Each structure stands twice: as structure tokens, then as C-alpha cells.
Amino acid sequence: MFSSFMTNAWVIGTIVAIIAGVIGFFVTLQKAPFDAHAIPMSSFAGAAAATWLGINQLYGLALFAVLGITIITLLRRTTRHEVATALTLVTLLGTGALCLSMTRAYAQAVFGLMFGDILGVSNEQILPVLILGGMAIIIVGLLYRPLLLMGVSPELSFARGVQTNTVSLLFLTALAIATIVALPVVGALLVFSLMITPPASARLLTHRPLIALVLSIIIALITLWCSIALSYITNWPIGFYVDALGAGIYILARTGRGIALIFFKDRQLPSSKQR
């Protein structure tokens, strides 16, 4: 499990989990899970095009991530947010399917792009992932207060003069960078799972934003570390464990929250009767 060929998997998995935990917290706060699904799938189209052309997939990921953000931003000026995101998703996903149909490495490309290949990460990939992930976290860090305010009360953020369009564009940029980092490792489908379930579980456990952010990172790390270990032991796909463990943790958090609410409600009843 800790042999030399697994070292890169543990390192890159840790980096991706931290990035997903941070970005995902603000994705759930902004109620933008559809964006977190659409941008990875749009980037998948870029990687598919790069595979077809025989160039580095990172270039395709970056180009189509930027293209996806641009189209979503332009369409949102004239139509509803979810419609703009959906139109962008289906257009670029169709483009990716076309590109994959024209490459000889069709089956391998689909599997690698959709589900990732964390065990195939090379030493040369670690530094770019670290740099790009750091950029995404820095962007979100600079936007922490505006994003928090927009997530809690959009009306109040507007009243306080927050440039919501600019902040949203920069946040989408950070999400796209995180996608570029995570997609080759966990795949287009699992980026969504890793960015949504840990933050959603964390927000069930506390209402304090900073604590929830830290918990989101911790849960994402636990999910990915356990997934790597279980995948190594059982030889089952890592994606199965990422989804299963993420869902399991969320169910436990939801159940624990429900029990806690019932417990504290019952404890308050005698005092209310005494009054």
C-alpha cells in the first residue's frame, strides 16, 4: 500500500482532496452544484479533443475550462443561470463525444477521462497540480468574505456594494482551475462527488463557516485516503469507494444531526413547561 509506485497516488490524492474540500465548500455555499458538475464535464471535452489531436491533455483541459466559463458567463446575461449552465454542458459534452469517436484510443480514453487514473500519476504531474491548486485556493481566499456574504444573503451583498458578477466569474475561474487539477486524477464524474459530499456533510455538523471549511477538508481527505487504501486492497475501482464513502459519511452526518436536534428539543421541553 505504501510501496514506491503508490507514493504519487497518496501525494496527489492529498493535494486534490484539500483543493476539493476548499472549493467544494463554496460551491455548496453558493448553491452551485450544477456548475461543479458542468465545468468538469466541459473540461472532459477538452481532454478528449487533446487526446484526438495527440497533444498534452492539460492544454485541452485548460482551453475548454476557460471556454465553458466564457459561455456560461455570456449566456447568464440573457437567460437563467441553470439554463445557461445546461446549454454549455450539453454543447461541450457533445463535442467531447465527437472527439472521442474519432480517436483510436477510444475505450482507454473514456475510462481515463471519466473515472481518472490516480495510480498512473507521474512525478512530473505533481508540481503542476500543486501550483494550479494553490492558485485556486488563493483566489478563493481573496474572495472569502464576498463569497460568504453572497452565500448567506445575496440581497445584503448587493446592498453592501459587492460586485456579484465579478466575484462569480472569479469563483468560476477557481472552480475551473480545481477541475483541471482533479479531473486527470479522479475523473470528470468523481470531481463532482468529491466537491459536493464532503462540504455538504461538513455543513450539517456546524453552522460556523470557518469550522465547516476545515471539516470539509478533513472529510475530503478521509474519503480519498480510505478510497485509495480500499481500492488497493480489493482491486475495485477507486471511484466506487469515493462515491460510497462520501454518501455514507453524508448519511451519518444527516442522521447524527437529526438525533441531536431531537435530543436538544426534548431537553428544552421541561423548561418551557415550567414557564
Q: Per-residue pLDDT tens for 127-186?
A: 888 888 899 999 999 988 888 888 777 777 777 777 877 888 888 888 888 887 777 766
For residues 241 and 194, give the distance between their C-alpha atoms in angstroms, rounded to a whole number: 11
The x, y and z cell numbers of residue 150, run together, are 453572497
Q: Is the pTM of this model over 0.75?
A: yes
Task: State the pLDDT confidence band at 271, using cuts at 50, 70 and 90.
Answer: very low
5, three cell numbers: 509506485
Q: At what angle do helices 81-101 and 57-75 cross, to 10 degrees?
A: 150
Q: Which domains are present in the chain?
A: 4-194 (1.10.3470.10)
54 — pLDDT class (breaks 50, 70, 90)? confident
- Cβ–Cβ under 8 Å, residues 61 and 47: yes
The pLDDT of residue 275 is above 50: no
Note the pLDDT of residue 149: 83
The C-alpha cell of 143 is what? 474572495
**DSSP string across 142-203:** HTHHHHHHHHH-HHHHHHTT--HHHHHHHHHHHHHHHHHHHHHHHHHHHHHHHHHHHHHHHH
Contact, 43 vs 68, CB < 8 A?
yes
Q: Answer for the pair 52, 103: CB distance below 8 angstroms, yes or no.
A: yes
- Angstrom distances, CA of residue 17 to CA of 24, 180, 193: 10, 14, 11
- Kindly indicate the confidence band of residue 274, based on its pLDDT and cuts at 50, 70 and 90: very low
Per-residue pLDDT, 269: 44
Say how far apart CA 224 and CA 246 lie, in whole Å. 9
pLDDT grade for 1, boundaries at 50, 70 and 90: low
Q: Supply 21's cell numbers.
A: 474540500
For 73-84, write each residue's pLDDT tens digit: 888 778 787 788
The grid cell for 243 is: 462515491
**pLDDT 10s digits, 179-225:** 877 777 667 667 778 888 999 999 999 888 899 999 999 999 999 99
pLDDT bucket at 5, cuts 50 / 70 / 90: low
225 contacts 13 by C-beta, under 8 angstroms: yes
**Quick check: 57 and 51 in contact, CB under 8 A?**
yes
Alpha helices per DSSP H over 30-55: 33-53
Q: What is the pLDDT of residues 9-39, one digit of tens each?
A: 888 889 889 998 999 999 888 877 777 777 8
* Rounded Cα–Cα distance for residues 244 and 223 (Å): 9
Name the residue with higher pLDDT: 240 or 2.
240
In the chain, beta strands by DSSP E: none
Q: What is the pLDDT of residue 114?
A: 67
The pair phi, psi for residue 6, each rounded to 5°, is -95, -10
Report the 3 state secondary structure along 217-246.
HHHHHHHHHHHHHHHHHHCCCHHHHHHHHH
More confident: 8 or 139: 139
Pick the more confident residue, 34 or 71.
Answer: 71
Is the Cα torsion angle 141, 147, 152, 155 positive or negative in sign? Answer: positive
Report DSSP state, residue 22. Answer: H
How many of the other CB atoms lie within 10 Å of CB of 50? 23
